[in-house]
């Protein structure tokens, strides 16, 4: 199997340009972030932050300072509200399972939407086996949650609601403030969690102003190292640990803190927020160039998700009709353009992306979808290269489809 | 949602080569018989075109595919394997032969090879159905590959119905 991958890689030799747009699934770490992290592996603060020696105290100091910086970006009341976890998946598991455990005996109902990230969707399957029941709120054709449905389902039994602020696949910005009000009006005891991994560093997000209970953020979505995320827990909320072990500076996640990753996430946050407007305008401009260019150059395409202010600035998700997505990702890869697809084939599940299905896309539209995200480090040259490659790739794959199946 | 792993699909060089340079690609205007298998809503659909002469030998075979790289590669290799075969010989091709011929497929892509063979068998059946003859080697019962193709198509119907119902 590894031999096959070696051959696949060999087929990529001689690329004149490469553009990585699959920020949804992993990201490169810019040199300045990596350089900030490196000393923490072996020069400084490499000790365990709970122990009584210099490298330990150095680590303690660094972790506290990092927590404070991230607390400032989120506008938390205190750094105590910032809980590092090994990433988005873990923070979401902690938020949902940890809340349900702490609410045992107070209710059985959990509410999410039909378009949550896979980790949230999967956790509810686990919660079911623990006796909790999940209701999934439907969305409209732009992916916006139906608030009237939310209102209908919140009751005394509802212990937790989890709705992502920005949809990870189609960039829909949800009316979280309104959703939060509906939930708290109906049941003030209900805990409200949001996965803000695609929100943090992309659109303004202020936990204090929003007065939200729990929020997940993730390092890799802002070009930080993967393997590190944060669960914000508002003071006074009780989330139980879901793993046990040696407890250090992080009350909710046992084990030795990964100081270099925490430093990397903090550095990435600093760079994202330092010129927030400039960065997000840059993402938006390149994203618009990408979408407009594709619509101009390629017939039979559809934008998935909303346009304008309802869409996060970095997200482009487009369906190419008569063009199977996995084949397209491979063709694009061979030409140095790296994207992902909501196709059943590339996802290795028989069903296509649940998000695209939830917004009413036909299966064959979902199978031909491509997800791309722009970042502050992408250049106009990158986007122009992608726009040169994508039309040719789509044309070739459509040539293989020929007259098969799709009207 | 199931628990399938998402390890990278380790397509082998032969699959990659057939994906990049598919053999016998395209619609055949003078085909004796055409057969389709799969459903675009499953993300997998194949059309086979066969040109069959009076001696029941496949003179030409071509395909079109709405599907992943494995689907394209297996469809292409089937058209290569059966060229010049009698229909009886072509009938003996199994998805395992196809998988071997492309140097092996990732487990989750077995169904692509099965679908390709399902389409081939359907084409051969269609040929004899139309002639209203039934050679002794042609079983009445559907083969494994044909059954699988039917199942996949049935599943596609169920899924799209479920989707329309908003479940």
CB-nearest to B159 from A347, A363, A399 is A363
| Cα–Cα dist A123/A130, whole Å | 11
* Cβ <8 Å between B42 and A1: no
The reported pLDDT for the residue numbered B7 is: 53
Mutation to test the A interface, candidates B16, B67, B158, most A Cβ within 10 Å? B67
Q: What is the pLDDT of residues B26-53, one digit of tens each?
A: 999 999 999 999 888 777 899 999 999 9
| Cα–Cα dist A276/A271, whole Å | 8
Give the ipTM. Answer: 0.89
Quick check: helix, strand or coil at residue B59? strand
DSSP string, A314-347: TEEEEEETT--HHHHHHHHHHTTEE-EE--HHHH
Give me the percent of chain B exceeding a pLDDT of 70. 91
Q: What is the pLDDT of residues A100-148, one digit of tens each?
A: 999 999 999 999 999 999 999 999 999 999 999 999 999 999 999 999 9
The helix or strand, by DSSP H or E, that contains position A214, with its residue range, turns out to be strand A214-218
Beta strands at A229-233 and A301-303: parallel, antiparallel or unpaired: unpaired
Length of chain B: 167
Q: What is the pLDDT of residues B85-108, one digit of tens each?
A: 999 999 999 999 999 999 888 887
| Cα–Cα dist B19/A300, whole Å | 23
Nearest-CA distance A7 → chain B (Å): 6
The reported pLDDT for the residue numbered A316 is: 98
The reported pLDDT for the residue numbered A2 is: 76
DSSP secondary-structure letter at B38? E
**Tokens 């790296």, located at residue:** A338
The reported pLDDT for the residue numbered A350 is: 60
CB-nearest to A11 from B16, B41, B160 is B16
* Cβ <8 Å between B16 and A345: no
If you average pLDDT over residues A303-316, what whole number do you get?
Answer: 97
HSE value, Cβ hemisphere, 13 Å, CA-based, for B71: 33
Q: What is the pLDDT of residues A241-256, one digit of tens each?
A: 999 999 999 999 999 9
DSSP secondary-structure letter at A110? E
pLDDT greater than 60 at residue A406: no
Q: What is the pLDDT of residues B61-77, one digit of tens each?
A: 999 999 989 999 999 99
Nearest-CA distance A373 → chain B (Å): 21
Nearest-CA distance B13 → chain A (Å): 6
Secondary structure of A119-131 as H, E, C letters: HHHHHHHHHHHCC
Mutation to test the A interface, candidates B14, B28, B40, most A Cβ within 10 Å? B40
Mean pLDDT, chain A, rounded, equals 95
Q: Which residues of A touch B72 (CB under 8 A)?
A: 327, 400
Angle at alpha carbon of residue A65, lines to A63 and A70, rounded to 5° = 95
* Cβ <8 Å between B163 and A363: yes
The reported pLDDT for the residue numbered B104 is: 87
| Cα–Cα dist A50/A59, whole Å | 9
The reported pLDDT for the residue numbered B8 is: 56
Q: Quick one: tokens of B126?
A: 């269609």
| Cα–Cα dist A256/A249, whole Å | 9
Give how far Cα A47 sits from Cα of A54, A58, A60, A67, Å: 8, 8, 9, 18
* Residue B167: partners with Cβ closer than 8 Å, 6 or more residues away: none
The helix or strand, by DSSP H or E, that contains position B79, with its residue range, turns out to be helix B69-82
Give how far Cα B100 sits from Cα of A354, B77, B144, Å: 34, 10, 17
Query: B21-39: buried (b, 16+ CB within 10 Å) or exposed (e) per residue?
Result: ebbbbeebeebbbbbbbbb
* Cβ <8 Å between A401 and B64: yes
Give me the percent of chain A exceeding a pLDDT of 70. 98
pLDDT higher for A349 or B98?
Answer: B98
Active site positions of A, annotated: 345
If you average pLDDT over residues A334-353, what whole number do you get?
Answer: 78
| Cα–Cα dist B27/B47, whole Å | 8
Quick check: helix, strand or coil at residue A148? helix
The reported pLDDT for the residue numbered B165 is: 61
**Interface membership of B62 toward A (CB under 8 Å):** no
Query: A317-353: buried (b, 16+ CB within 10 Å) or exposed (e) per residue?
Result: bbbbbbbbbbbbbbbbbbbbbbbbbbbbbbbbbbbbb
The reported pLDDT for the residue numbered A225 is: 98
If you average pLDDT over residues A92-100, what whole number do you get?
Answer: 98
* Cβ <8 Å between B26 and A138: no
pTM for this predicted structure: 0.93
* Cβ <8 Å between A7 and B16: yes
| Cα–Cα dist A220/A27, whole Å | 6
CB-nearest to B66 from A1, A322, A350 is A322
If 0-12 CB within 10 Å is exposed, 13-18 middle and 19+ buried, where does residue B137 land? exposed
* Cβ <8 Å between A400 and B46: no
**Interface membership of B157 toward A (CB under 8 Å):** no
Quick one: closest CA in B to A136, which residue? B167
The reported pLDDT for the residue numbered B3 is: 43
Beta strands at A191-195 and A214-218: parallel, antiparallel or unpaired: parallel
Contact B83, B60 (CB under 8 A): yes
pLDDT greater than 50 at residue A270: yes
Angle at alpha carbon of residue A271, lines to A269 and A277, rounded to 5° = 100
Which is nearest to B148 in space by CA: B118, B108, B123, B126?
B118
Which is nearest to A312 in space by CA: A118, A115, A117, A165?
A165
Give how far Cα B61 sits from Cα of A107, B14, B76, B118, Å: 63, 20, 9, 15
**Interface membership of B167 toward A (CB under 8 Å):** no
Nearest-CA distance B136 → chain A (Å): 32
The reported pLDDT for the residue numbered B126 is: 95
| Cα–Cα dist A38/A53, whole Å | 21
* Residue A311: partners with Cβ closer than 8 Å, 6 or more residues away: A170, A171, A172, A173, A305
CB pairs under 8 A between A and B: 121
If you average pLDDT over residues A41-45, what whole number do you get?
Answer: 97
* Cβ <8 Å between A326 and B22: no
* Cβ <8 Å between A327 and B2: no
pLDDT greater than 80 at residue B161: no
If you average pLDDT over residues A42-62, what whole number do you get?
Answer: 97
């Amino acid at each position: 199997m590894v031999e096959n991958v070696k051959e696949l890689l060999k087929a990529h030799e001689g690329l004149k340009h490469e553009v990585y747009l699959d920020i949804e699934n992993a990201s490169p770490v810019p040199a300045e972030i990596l350089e900030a992290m490196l000393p923490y592996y072996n020069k400084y603060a490499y000790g365990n932050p709970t122990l009584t020696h210099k490298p330990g105290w150095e680590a303690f100091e660094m972790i506290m300072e990092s927590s404070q910086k991230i607390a400032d970006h989120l506008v938390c009341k205190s750094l105590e509200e910032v809980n590092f976890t090994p990433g988005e998946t873990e923070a979401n598991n902690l938020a949902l399972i940890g809340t349900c455990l702490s609410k045992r005996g107070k209710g059985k109902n959990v509410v999410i939407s039909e378009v949550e990230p896979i980790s949230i969707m999967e956790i509810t399957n686990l919660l079911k086996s623990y006796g909790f029941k999940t209701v999934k709120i439907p969305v409209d054709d732009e992916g916006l949650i139906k608030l009237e449905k939310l209102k209908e389902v919140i009751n005394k039994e509802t212990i937790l609601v989890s709705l992502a602020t920005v949809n990870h696949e189609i960039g829909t910005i949800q009316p979280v403030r309104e959703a939060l009000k509906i939930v708290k009006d109906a049941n003030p005891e209900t805990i409200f969690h949001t996965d803000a991994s695609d929100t943090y560093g992309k659109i303004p997000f202020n936990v204090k102003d929003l007065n939200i209970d729990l929020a997940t953020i993730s390092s890799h979505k802002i070009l930080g190292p993967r393997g590190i995320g944060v669960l914000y827990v508002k003071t006074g909320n009780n989330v139980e640990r879901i793993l046990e072990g040696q407890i250090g500076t992080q009350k909710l996640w046992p084990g030795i803190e990964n100081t270099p990753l925490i430093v990397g996430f903090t550095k990435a946050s600093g760079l994202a927020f330092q010129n927030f407007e400039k960065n997000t305008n840059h993402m938006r401009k390149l994203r618009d160039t990408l979408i407009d260019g594709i619509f101009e150059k390629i017939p039979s395409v559809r934008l998935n998700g909303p346009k304008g202010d309802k869409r996060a600035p970095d997200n482009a998700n487009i369906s190419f009709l008569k063009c199977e997505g996995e084949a397209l990702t491979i063709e694009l890869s061979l030409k140095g353009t790296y994207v992902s697809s909501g196709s059943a084939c590339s996802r290795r599940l028989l069903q296509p992306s649940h998000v695209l299905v939830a917004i009413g896309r036909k299966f064959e539209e979902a199978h031909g979808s491509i997800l791309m995200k722009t970042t502050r480090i992408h250049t106009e040259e990158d986007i122009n290269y992608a726009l040169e490659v994508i039309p040719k790739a789509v044309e070739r794959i459509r040539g293989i489809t020929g007259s098969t199946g799709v009207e | 949602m199931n628990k399938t792993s998402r390890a990278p699909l380790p397509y082998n060089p032969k699959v990659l080569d057939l994906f990049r340079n598919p053999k016998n690609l395209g619609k055949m205007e003078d085909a004796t018989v055409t057969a389709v298998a799969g459903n675009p809503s499953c993300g997998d659909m194949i059309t086979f075109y066969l040109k069959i002469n009076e001696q029941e030998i496949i003179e030409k075979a071509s395909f079109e595919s709405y599907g992943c790289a494995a689907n394209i590669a297996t469809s292409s290799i089937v058209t290569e394997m059966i060229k010049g075969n009698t229909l009886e010989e072509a009938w003996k091709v199994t998805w395992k032969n196809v998988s071997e011929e492309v140097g092996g497929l990732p487990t989750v892509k077995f169904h692509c090879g099965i679908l390709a063979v399902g389409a081939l068998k359907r084409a051969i059946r269609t040929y004899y159905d139309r002639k209203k003859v039934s050679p002794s080697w042609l079983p009445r019962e559907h083969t494994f590959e044909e059954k699988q193709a039917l199942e996949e198509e049935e599943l596609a119907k169920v899924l799209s119905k479920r989707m329309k119902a908003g479940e």
